[in-house]
Structure 1
Amino acid sequence: MVQLHVVVVCSVVGFLGLVLVILGVASEAATALALVGLSKDGLYDVNKCVYQTTPALACGIVAGLLALAVQIAVTTTSLLCGCCRTWELPRAARHIVGIVLSVVSWIFVIIVVALFIAGAAMNTDQKRQPTTDGKCPVDPGSVLFAAATVFSLVATVSQIASYVLLAPAKGSTKPLATQQQPEVAMGQPRQDADEVVAGGDPLPPSAPPLSQPTEPTSKV
């Protein structure tokens, strides 16, 4: 049976992953508003492409920070709920796969953050050289936002899978190696304090009880 905290965390991560996709699509669409036109630069009379700040700047920064925050939250929750618990032998394989997926999600999140920030930096007020054919790119950073959106989906799936695998199963908190309690052999008599002879060693368990000498009866 799936535990409640697993359902809640996976639902929240999935929702935030959808928000990342929306921000990525919005950022990519906003890049088309960046191009203003051509200008002449100083005495050299060199045509340059002029770009203005677009909403992609804010969307890219927010998306990058959100992706990083979600990754940190999922990793912390996994450590508190599952990764630091002692594991049992049947769960060892799941534990290893969960750690691998967590590392993979971190790699993709770092790539996503870098792409979002780079795309946002390209959507600020600036001037650039035109391409070799004399044209200006209409949508600077659009490819970066598209790649970040796709990688964010992969990171979200990896986050959910790693948390599910690292989450402890209900009632699975036994350590890997438990200390064996010494067992008392069946049929072994237990020595009590009253069986110890004062000033001497305890009687062996197999020794027969001492018999009291009987006085001979005299015949009348």
Structure 2
Amino acid sequence: MVRLHVVVVCSVVGFLGLVLVILGVASEAATAQALVPDELDIDGFNVNCVYRTTPALGCGIVAALLALTAQIAVTTTSLLCGCCRTWELPTTTRHIVGIVLSVVSWIIVIIVVALFLAGAAMNTDQKRQLTADKKCPVDPGSALFAAATVFSLVATGLQIASYVLLLATPKGSTKPLATQQQTEVAMGQPVQLEPRQDADEVVAGGDPLPPSAPPLSRATEPTSKV
């Protein structure tokens, strides 16, 4: 049975990933509003294109913060509920894969944050030079937002996968011996007990101890002569 907090965490991470996609698409569409049409800044022989601030600035900053928040939340929850629950280093393949996915997701999230912030910085009031074909870039930062949106989807999948893998506890790694024996008995498996030593123990020299003489009963006790 899937635990409730697993469903909650995965749902929250998936929702934040969906929000990141929406913000990325909205930012990419807003870049078309940055260029001020039919307006050039002519300074001698230098001709610059004029750009204004667009909603992509706010969307990019919010998206970067949400991506970082989701990654921190998943990592913290995994450490508290899964990976370090037994205060031991995970040794199973399942946990090792989960740690690798978590590290990769951190790297991708850092790239996502950098792309969103770079795209947002290109959608502020500024002046840019003409391109090689003497034209003004219509949508500055559009490629950055598109790449950040794709990477955010990949990061969301890795976050959910790493959380689920790190949450599992290796079988038999943290159970005490008594608990394992009780589990085996409950499942109908025989428990192997340690063999007891025989009554006739072997002494240090190698000869067995002589058997003890049975005690005399009252009927066989010698009577005292008067």
Q: Normalization by structure 2: what TM-score?
A: 0.77
In 2, Cα distance between equivalents of 1:214 and 1:25: 107
Deviation above 3 Å: which 4+ runs of structure 1?
172-181, 183-189, 206-218
Q: How many residues align?
A: 198
In 2, Cα distance between equivalents of 1:141 and 1:184: 72
User: Is this contact kept in 2: 1:87–1:175, CA < 8 A?
Assistant: no
In 1, Cα distance between equivalents of 2:87 and 2:97: 13
User: Is this contact kept in 2: 1:48–1:128, CA < 8 A?
Assistant: yes
Q: 1:214 to 1:24 in 2, by over 3 A?
A: same
Partner residue in 2 for 1:164: 164
The structural deviation recorded for 1:133 is 1.0
Does residue 96 of structure 2 align to residue 100 of structure 1?
no
**Larger displacement relative to structure 2 (45-54 or 72-81):** 45-54
- Supply the AA of the counterpart residue of 2:102: S
The structural deviation recorded for 1:217 is 3.9
User: Is this contact kept in 2: 1:30–1:55, CA < 8 A?
Assistant: yes
Partner residue in 2 for 1:113: 113
Partner residue in 1 for 2:128: 128
- Supply the AA of the counterpart residue of 2:76: T
Partner residue in 2 for 1:154: 154
- Supply the AA of the counterpart residue of 1:66: L
In 1, Cα distance between equivalents of 2:26 and 2:214: 95
3-state SS of 1:17 partner: helix
The structural deviation recorded for 1:177 is 7.6
In 2, Cα distance between equivalents of 1:165 and 1:87: 17
The structural deviation recorded for 1:210 is 6.5
The structural deviation recorded for 1:185 is 5.3
* Unaligned residue ranges in structure 1 (runs of 5+): 190-203
**Identity score, percent:** 71
In 2, Cα distance between equivalents of 1:140 and 1:54: 11
User: Is this contact kept in 2: 1:81–1:168, CA < 8 A?
Assistant: no
3-state SS of 2:168 partner: coil
In 1, Cα distance between equivalents of 2:48 and 2:35: 11
Partner residue in 1 for 2:81: 81
User: Is this contact kept in 1: 2:95–2:168, CA < 8 A?
Assistant: no
Does residue 34 of structure 2 align to residue 22 of structure 1?
no
C-alpha root-mean-square deviation of aligned residues, in Å? Answer: 3.1
Q: Normalization by structure 1: what TM-score?
A: 0.79
Q: Deviations over 1:63-119 (max 9, x none)?
A: 00110010000000000011113499xx81111111111111111100000000000
3-state SS of 2:92 partner: helix
In 1, Cα distance between equivalents of 2:213 and 2:107: 76
Q: Deviations over 1:153-209 (max 9, x none)?
A: 00000001111111136xx6854484689x7754779xxxxxxxxxxxxxx9x7557
* Unaligned residue ranges in structure 2 (runs of 5+): 182-192, 200-208
In 2, Cα distance between equivalents of 1:208 and 1:120: 99
Partner residue in 2 for 1:38: 40
Partner residue in 2 for 1:8: 8
Partner residue in 2 for 1:63: 63
In 2, Cα distance between equivalents of 1:23 and 1:79: 29
In 1, Cα distance between equivalents of 2:173 and 2:96: 17
- Supply the AA of the counterpart residue of 1:61: I
In 2, Cα distance between equivalents of 1:149 and 1:17: 9
User: Is this contact kept in 2: 1:52–1:123, CA < 8 A?
Assistant: yes
3-state SS of 2:50 partner: strand
User: Is this contact kept in 2: 1:14–1:156, CA < 8 A?
Assistant: yes
Q: 1:69 to 1:210 in 2, by over 3 A?
A: same
